[in-house]
Structure 1
């Protein structure tokens, strides 16, 4: 097992690119780290330079780690290697609360087995579709020039309203997380006459689009479609991956992204699980 340095992360990015879209979340993290975006993670692989398994875990030497929910992200083409890293090699700390996000569902039986053997409980957060966009030409044109003129970026004064409306927000850690994303990653919003956001979309620190929301009194005006189009074109023009995770229960968002040209690999599903 090896922790990658900055030069090795650049090589890992190329390797993970060949495994898209299934590797897209770990690819997004590496992509961000290689472009100087602040992270509180360290990256482990089973072997180097050829690796089958890569794990992102909280960096114990980063002072920012304590400010956020402990998150683990992983990708593996060899489940037995992954099992070894999670058990005998102690790639993650099973004694603390943590979240494994965007995990291929095929690994869940193995994770449940390991968790049970250690007396650790598991709770599913959400099962999701992975939606990707490779060709931005499928995106619609912005609806009106007036609407286009109201598109801007989020700023720090908007954190509170986003934290209050986000399904997984509402506490101090989510507030800090949203603030971090607005400061360092792309975002788009549509504002009212008082320059307050009424509709918005952010990108997570692994570049997936997320937290898409429109205030109830402003729905049905094409705001979400405008923001998705703007954000996707911006990300694509800068070489970023263009994708999102949509909860299986959110049929409205799934239909919206699908109609805008986003596609999914029907053989792949990802899930979020909390361990404590």
Structure 2
């Protein structure tokens, strides 16, 4: 069997362009490559089944990176051929199945293959989360809300003094790993928040390290004021101006966020669902 090839910097740029042709289904891996290719820090390496005509591309933990254990370990896959994906995952050195990690943002149509291979490897698997993906194909689709000057003056970026606040309200945070993750995102990616009269953030939105818009939150006493729409719109404009992809993963049961993004002009490919699977939990 062939060994997976680890992509070098120049090859990562080529791979990014290939994945761009497979949007929206390739968004998760495309977002990682977009991020890596623009010098954002990452404890990942990117491998393919063949080069240059790859059919499977995988972002996996770089176990030689000193920061790799600072975060939850994640493996992200994009596949154009399910049988090659199966062959690739069975290979000895593609994924370290002894680790506790997440298959993150996996195309739901690939789940049966993952389950089959994990059973062969003798590891347990459980569904962590299932999401819909909404994306904005072009900024002209964005239905921006009208923002008055007073609200605009209270809209700004998050900074590192806000890490605890964001981490402690984040569904997947509240711990040391969460703190490091939020620190990394605020320090390296665009973000927006709306502050109250005392200068405290009361609503905010971030960008994940794979470039998806997320971690949108408004403190309960400030809900119903339209802050989320203002933030998503402001962030979308900023990301578009800097060339970022524009997409978001929204949990299946989160109808509030789903309706919000739809109302702003984001669209969904209804044939696509993404799944996070936990291995060896």
Q: Report the TM range for the smaller structure's normalisation.
A: over 0.9
Shift of 1:89: 4.0
Alpha-carbon distance between aligned partners in 1 of 2:107 and 2:124, rounded to the nearest angstrom: 19
Contact residue 250 and residue 257 of structure 2 kept, 8 A:
yes
Contact residue 86 and residue 92 of structure 1 kept, 8 A:
yes
Matching of residue 130 in structure 1 with residue 133 in structure 2:
yes
Shift of 1:119: 2.3
Query: What are the equivalent positions in structure 2 for 1:236-247 lying under 5 Å apart?
Result: 236-247=240-251
Contact residue 40 and residue 58 of structure 1 kept, 8 A:
yes
User: Residues 66-119 of structure 1: CA distance to partner in whole angstroms, max 9, x if unpaired?
Assistant: 111111101001111111221124311000100011100011111111112222
Alpha-carbon distance between aligned partners in 2 of 1:47 and 1:259, rounded to the nearest angstrom: 41
Alpha-carbon distance between aligned partners in 1 of 2:145 and 2:113, rounded to the nearest angstrom: 45
- Secondary structure at the counterpart of residue 257 of structure 1: helix
What are the ranges of 5 or more consecutive residues in structure 2 without an aligned counterpart? none
Aligned with residue 105 of structure 1, among 103, 108, 113: 108
Shift of 1:143: 2.4
Alpha-carbon distance between aligned partners in 2 of 1:111 and 1:29, rounded to the nearest angstrom: 21
Contact residue 142 and residue 229 of structure 1 kept, 8 A:
no
Runs of 4 or more off by more than 6 Å in structure 1?
A: none
Alpha-carbon distance between aligned partners in 2 of 1:106 and 1:74, rounded to the nearest angstrom: 12
Alpha-carbon distance between aligned partners in 1 of 2:15 and 2:154, rounded to the nearest angstrom: 39
User: Residues 132-176 of structure 1: CA distance to partner in whole angstroms, max 9, x if unpaired?
Assistant: 002323322432111111111111111111111111111111110
Aligned with residue 211 of structure 2, among 207, 210, 224: 207
Aligned with residue 56 of structure 2, among 39, 53, 56: 53
What are the ranges of 5 or more consecutive residues in structure 1 without an aligned counterpart? none
Aligned with residue 74 of structure 2, among 66, 71, 75: 71
Alpha-carbon distance between aligned partners in 2 of 1:230 and 1:267, rounded to the nearest angstrom: 29
Alpha-carbon distance between aligned partners in 2 of 1:251 and 1:31, rounded to the nearest angstrom: 29
Output the TM-score relative to the length of structure 2.
Answer: 0.96
Cα RMSD for the two superposed structures: 1.0
Structure 1 residue aligned with 2:28: 25
Structure 2 residue aligned with 1:226: 230
Structure 2 residue aligned with 1:146: 150
- Secondary structure at the counterpart of residue 73 of structure 1: strand
Alpha-carbon distance between aligned partners in 2 of 1:246 and 1:117, rounded to the nearest angstrom: 31
